[in-house]
Amino acid sequence: MAASMTREPVLDRSLGWFSVGLGMAELLAPKAMGRMIGVGEQSTVLRMCGVREIVSGVGLLSGRAPATFAMSRVVGDVMDLALLGASLRSPDSNPSRVAATATAVAGVTALDLYASKVELQSSMAEAQQDVPVHASLMINSPPDQVYAFWRKLENLPRFMSHLESVAEVAQQRSEWTARLPGGVQLRWQSEIVEDQPGRLMSWRTVAGSEINHVGSVRFEPGPGGQGTQVKVEIYYGMPGGPAAAKAAQLVAMAPESLVTEDLRRLKQLIETGEIATTQGQPAGKRSMIGRMFGKEES
Amino acid sequence: MRAVCWQGVHKVGIEEVPDARVINPRDAVIKVRKAAICGSDLHLYDGYVPGMMRGDILGHEFMGEVVETGSGVPNLSRGDRVVVPFPISCGNCFFCEQEMYSLCENSNPNARLAEKFWGHSPCGIFGYSHLLGGYAGGQAEYVRVPFADVGPMKVPDAMSDEQALFLGDILPTGYMAAENCNIREGDTVAVWGCGPVGLFAIMSAKLLGASRVIAIDRFPERLSLAHRAGAEILNYEEMDTLETLREWTGGRGPDACIDAVGMEAHMHGVQHAYDKVKQALRLETERPGVVREAIQACRNGGTVSVPGVYGGLADKIPLGAVVNKALTIKSGQTHVQRYMKPLMARIENGEIDPTMIITHRIGIDDVPDAYQMFRDKEDDCIKVVVNMAS
């Protein structure tokens, strides 16, 4: 990736070395450090902070994903401020030293925030405007059969998990409704651009849709004429205006893995006639974390 | 219904859970008559297999009676007595068509998780972590069996529950381990681990024509069963394994070596301490002492066959020996469906008596204690069969 004009490597590097130095001190001499900043005997907490500082510092110095590591410093600063506040409740803390330390941390926080904002802006400027999605899967069935299953658009919600409905409203034109996690509904109309039976289909969304994309699906004979290699390519356009948030949510859901999971279900439906699941099977008492994941259990 | 549930590391309990039911058209529900605790269940018990959740129903070795079938299971009817293979396999995909059932592409609903670990996913497996599908297992009164038109095999009236039970996993697993050795007349096969799979591998190696089978373990009761199965025995607490194998084979080494131990191998000295610490710190997921030794012992151009379970990353595997000795390594979860019919025939004609390995017969309430007993090899425990009807 080309270096951007707005990057400030000097600030990154200074903050990076500061992090590493502070981290080493916290890790290796937590007791002395605790006395110096006035929090008293907090060796374990300070050692943990030390490890975090070193990770942020080495990250910043490496020059990779600077926006992420700069932001990690901001998060660390907020943690430090919270810990300092909490330390006041401890009997061996020294309130005036804690106050001085907090002032110093707040100053560093301002620098960190500045650095991370600069990084974020520069990475936004480098971001691509279109989000491409590619996915491909082998299906043990001849191309014309896989094509025929897909071409019957009402079949699509059977394996595309976020799709609520697809209805053909006119020649080559269809109306789509999807529901994203959190209940957000997306609607769009799509028109078929190319349709070659047994080989490929391509489509694009029509003006006025809540999400813009162009896409194609190819049905290529597998090696040696065995089965079908299904290849999906979609390009999502990032719109401005009120639709931007919805589109961003869709993209944040990692559309590539969504499409891959959809293709997997398509393969299961075509090859076995059903979709493998464990939903509805018995289990013993789940832990709290287990119950949270249980909703997603497939 | 009552079921054996994983409740955390070293915690297994009996819980009252909703009844198993048909979910997909190709499902059947089996009323379990006999279930077994497998050595590989101990890796779950010890917490070395990732992707377990509190409340998961355990068990992948079971047989029983069909009580309900979906519309896509024309081959089974209520009352049929069946033994169920542990791999869940669709019978339609690229791999099932080639009888590589444990690599079924369609039965693991969590394939994406397994792909993150291993690049590709194997089939779904009953009661063996969410990485392998999160399917409820068969150490329960009832169990749902997906793709029941492919997996379960009817048990003839003349065959007892116990004779049929091990056709679902350990007998085919031992057999495939031996088959993977490409045994030829006159071959010597060394088998590490004389647990159930090791014992069946010994019997199978003999059936497949091995002239000599050398069995390696340290527990006298296991070595004595190995001896009964026709093996020469090597107690590694009394003799140095590598030196003894070299001596017994005139310096050449065994033609094939079978690791029927897997990820929690017990070894001696520094190596054992090293792996134990690294495994405890989760710096490696395995203690691969046996596979290291098998590679080292195997003759030039020989085969190392690994039916033992490994889950993740192992350290210090002597790859140099693999290359310079031109070894073949074969492994895999067992393609059980491929072996059930021929092995059932061998049981029927008396060539194999699978029940000889059973040491304990218990009811469901004793299962939690049995896990601990089996893990610690107390009371000479080799194989525990749970009578679910009791």
pLDDT in tens, A4-28: 444 456 777 787 788 888 888 888 8
Tokens of A172: 């080559």
Please say whether the beta carbons of A108 and A77 come within 8 A.
yes
Most confidently modeled of A41-55, A121-135, B227-241?
A: B227-241
Of the pLDDT bands very low, low, confident and very high (cuts 50, 70, 90), residue A128 is very low
The rounded distance, in Å, linking the Cα atoms of A233 and B130 is 30
> CB–CB of A276 and B26 under 8 A?
no
Phi, psi of B346 (to 5 degrees): -65, -30
> CB–CB of A271 and B93 under 8 A?
yes
The rounded distance, in Å, linking the Cα atoms of A122 and A114 is 13
Residue A68 has pLDDT above 50, yes or no: yes
Of the pLDDT bands very low, low, confident and very high (cuts 50, 70, 90), residue A296 is very low
Residue A277 has pLDDT above 90, yes or no: yes
Out of B23, B55, B108, name the one closest to residue A286 (CB): B55
Tokens of B292: 């290291």
> Which of B93, B98, B100, B106 to mutate: most A Cβ within 10 Å?
B106
Determine the pLDDT at residue A121. 47
Q: Which residues of B touch A137 (CB under 8 A)?
A: none
Domain ranges of chain B: 2-169+334-387, 171-331
The rounded distance, in Å, linking the Cα atoms of B334 and B85 is 9
Calculate Rg over the CA atoms of chain A: 27
Please say whether the beta carbons of B15 and B2 come within 8 A.
yes
Of B218, B211, B217, B167, the residue nearest B189 (C-alpha)? B211
Tokens of B390: 């009791």
Please say whether the beta carbons of A217 and A232 come within 8 A.
yes
- Alpha helices by DSSP H, listed for A152-241, are 156-159
Q: How far apart are the first and last CA of chain A?
A: 38
Per-residue pLDDT 10s for chain B (390 aa) are 999 999 999 999 999 999 999 999 999 999 999 999 999 999 999 999 989 999 999 999 999 999 999 999 999 999 999 999 999 999 999 999 999 999 999 999 999 999 999 999 999 999 999 999 999 999 999 999 999 999 999 999 999 999 999 999 999 999 999 999 999 999 999 999 999 999 999 999 999 999 999 999 999 999 999 999 999 999 999 999 999 999 999 999 999 999 999 988 888 888 888 888 888 887 777 889 999 999 999 999 999 999 999 988 888 899 999 999 999 999 999 999 999 999 999 999 999 999 999 999 999 999 999 999 999 999 999 999 999 986
The rounded distance, in Å, linking the Cα atoms of A226 and A142 is 7
Look at residue B188 and give its three-state secondary structure.
Answer: strand
Q: Which residues of B touch A268 (CB under 8 A)?
A: 90, 106
Find tokens 């601990």 and name the residue: B372
Please say whether the beta carbons of B183 and B207 come within 8 A.
no
Please say whether the beta carbons of A257 and A135 come within 8 A.
no
Q: What angle do CA A116, A120, A123 make, to 5 degrees?
A: 135
Max distance between CA atoms of chain A, in angstroms, equals 79
> Which residues fall within 8 angstroms of residue A131, CB to CB, at 6 or more apart?
A235, A236, A238, A251, A255
> Which of A158, A272, A288 to mutate: most B Cβ within 10 Å?
A272
The rounded distance, in Å, linking the Cα atoms of A191 and B144 is 43
Q: Is A227 on the interface with B (CB under 8 A)?
A: yes
Put simply, the chain A residues between 229 and 268 with a CB less than 8 A from any chain B CB are: 257, 260-261, 264, 267-268
What is the per-residue pLDDT across A86-111, written as a single tens digit (0 to 9) for each?
Answer: 776 666 777 777 777 777 777 777 77
Of A125, A12, A112, A27, the residue nearest A61 (C-alpha)? A12
Burial class (CB in 10 A: 0-12, 13-18, 19+), B207: middle
> CB–CB of B54 and A271 under 8 A?
no
Determine the pLDDT at residue A240. 54
Q: Determine the average pLDDT of the residues in A149-172.
A: 93
Q: Which residues of B touch A265 (CB under 8 A)?
A: none
Helix (H) or strand (E) segment spanning residue B204: helix B196-207
Q: Tell me the shortest Cα–Cα distance from B9 to chain A, in angstroms.
A: 13
Determine the pLDDT at residue A109. 73
> Which of B92, B126, B143 to mutate: most A Cβ within 10 Å?
B92
The rounded distance, in Å, linking the Cα atoms of B68 and B30 is 7
> CB–CB of A140 and B97 under 8 A?
yes
Please say whether the beta carbons of B73 and B149 come within 8 A.
yes
Q: Determine the average pLDDT of the residues in A255-265.
A: 91
> CB–CB of A286 and B3 under 8 A?
no
The rounded distance, in Å, linking the Cα atoms of B178 and B198 is 10
Of the pLDDT bands very low, low, confident and very high (cuts 50, 70, 90), residue A239 is low
Q: Taking CA atoms, what residue in B is nearest to A137?
A: B105
Out of B23, B134, B146, name the one closest to residue A297 (CB): B134
Q: Tell me the shortest Cα–Cα distance from A135 to chain B, in angstroms.
A: 13
Residue A245 has pLDDT above 80, yes or no: no
Percent residues over pLDDT 70 in chain A: 77
Look at residue B334 and give its three-state secondary structure.
Answer: coil
Strands lying side by side in the sheet with B303-306: B232-235, B212-217, B188-192, B256-259, B303-306, B328-331
Determine the pLDDT at residue B267. 83
Please say whether the beta carbons of A105 and A77 come within 8 A.
yes
Tokens of A282: 């018995």
Of B334, B381, B382, B380, the residue nearest B171 (C-alpha)? B334
Phi, psi of B263 (to 5 degrees): -75, -15
Determine the pLDDT at residue B214. 98
Query: What number of residues does chain A have?
Result: 298
Q: Taking CA atoms, what residue in B is nearest to A257?
A: B112
Find tokens 């290529």 and name the residue: A220
How many Cα atoms occupy the beta-carbon half-sphere of B36 within 13 Å? 33
> CB–CB of B106 and A283 under 8 A?
no
Q: What angle do CA A13, A76, A96 make, to 5 degrees?
A: 105
> CB–CB of B13 and A279 under 8 A?
no
Q: Which residues of A touch B25 (CB under 8 A)?
A: 273-274
Determine the pLDDT at residue A58. 80
| pTM for this model (two decimals) | 0.79
Determine the pLDDT at residue B122. 98
| Superfamily designation of domain B2-169+334-387 | Medium-chain alcohol dehydrogenases, catalytic domain (3.90.180.10)
Out of B24, B54, B106, name the one closest to residue A271 (CB): B106
Q: Taking the domain B171-331, which CATH number applies?
A: 3.40.50.720
Please say whether the beta carbons of B41 and B371 come within 8 A.
yes
Q: What DSSP string runs through B9-72?
A: TTEEEEEE-PPP---STT-EEEEEEEEEE-HHHHHHHTT-SSS--TTEEP-SEEEEEEEEE-TT
